[in-house]
Amino acid sequence: MDHHGVRKLQLIIIAAFFALTIHGKAFSADPSPVIGTLQRVSGTAAVVRQDQILPAKAGLEIHSNDTLRTGPDGSIGVVFRDDTQLSLGPGSVLAIDEFVYAPRQGKLSLIFRMMKGTAVYLSGLIAKLAPDSVLFVTPSASVGVRGTKFAVKVEER
């Protein structure tokens, strides 16, 4: 390749780099939007996000598909964008399978999957606006939420 061809290839590579930079991160998945925030954490607790384990601390943002875990001495309190409140007690594991809060577009959905431990749930706007769109799943039952407060305990098998 002559000098002109090398220069042209360099310009193409530079242009491609700038295009990728301007249009976002092409090589990493866009994170899901923030759906809530840890308000209270005590003892040992973590948030599992994709392949990462993040130490839980007050102020940590929560995303769809995160899994919340507490150790034998841990607890977590979360407030979601629609004002749903969730508290997990010691030894708990809960996955946030879906959280969609777009009331203007008529898109509302909340699905929690509790594998073990204890939780206290206080419904927010999703349950008030679209009660059939809220589901709390455990290994032995699914609870449809109709705008309420409840506690659940899931024991390991």
pLDDT digits (tens, 9 = 90+) for 1-28: 565 554 554 444 544 444 443 444 344 4
pTM for the full predicted model: 0.77
Average pLDDT, the chain: 83
Least confident residue range of 14-23, 37-46, 148-157 = 14-23
Looking at the fold, whether 47 and 9 belong to one and the same domain comes out as no
Band (148; pLDDT cuts 50, 70, 90): confident
Which ranges constitute the DSSP H helices of the chain?
A: 3-22, 125-129
What is the tens place of the pLDDT at every residue in 61-74?
Answer: 999 999 999 999 99
Looking at the fold, whether 16 and 75 belong to one and the same domain comes out as no
* Structural domain boundaries, residue 43: 34-154
Looking at the fold, whether 43 and 117 belong to one and the same domain comes out as yes
Looking at the fold, whether 111 and 133 belong to one and the same domain comes out as yes
Dihedral through CA 75, CA 79, CA 85, CA 86, nearest 10? -30
Secondary structure of residue 13 in the 3-state scheme = helix
41 compared with 146, residue with greater pLDDT: 41
CATH number for the domain spanning 119: value is 2.60.120
- Token output for 46: 């973590």
What is the tens place of the pLDDT at every residue in 126-143?
Answer: 999 998 899 988 888 655
Looking at the fold, whether 73 and 47 belong to one and the same domain comes out as yes
| Number of domains the chain contains | 2
Looking at the fold, whether 77 and 145 belong to one and the same domain comes out as yes
The predicted structure's pLDDT at residue 11: 42
